[in-house]
Amino acid sequence: MKSPAWIWTLVAVIVAELGVDMSVFESIPHLPSWAGVCPGNNESAGKRKSSRTPKGNVYLKAALVEAAHAAAKAKGTYLRDKSYRLKARRGYKRAAVAIVHKILVAIYHMFSQ
């Protein structure tokens, strides 16, 4: 089965922006933080502050958000199930950012082997 062209474009963007050497990131949480998709918990005295994603690599973040949307529509996958569970509680866009975080952690593990 032939892969769609967008998958090869996504792989090219990931390799171009990250490289294949994951030793530049000290640990797993450093990669999503550098990309700007790390989760935040900005709460003080029960009052929730802004929950915007931090600035990060714009090209990588945009490509991975598209991949998260595609993963949320792929049938029979873990990422689709996770996306549906998160969408019910948090909304569509926050679920997409959480899926991007999961994709980046998986990429870190694949490239660090």
Q: What does the H/E/C string look like for 43-105?
A: EECCEECCCCCCCCCHHHHHHHHHHHHHHHHCCCCHHHHHHHHHHHHHCHHHHHHHHHHHHHH
* pTM for this entry: 0.86
Decide if 17 is inside a domain.
Answer: no
31 part of a folded domain: yes
**47 belongs to a structural domain:** no
Q: Please report whether residue 89 resides in a domain.
A: yes
pLDDT tens, position by position, 74-108: 999 999 999 999 999 989 988 999 999 999 999 99
DSSP state of 12: H
Distances (CA, A) of 46 to 39, 41, 50: 18, 11, 13
**Cα atoms in the Cβ-side hemisphere of radius 13 Å centred on 111:** 20
| Number of domains present in the structure of the chain | 1
Please report whether residue 45 resides in a domain.
no
Q: Which structural domain range is residue 98 located in?
A: 27-38+55-113
Per-residue pLDDT reduced to its tens digit, 44-65: 888 877 777 788 889 999 999 9
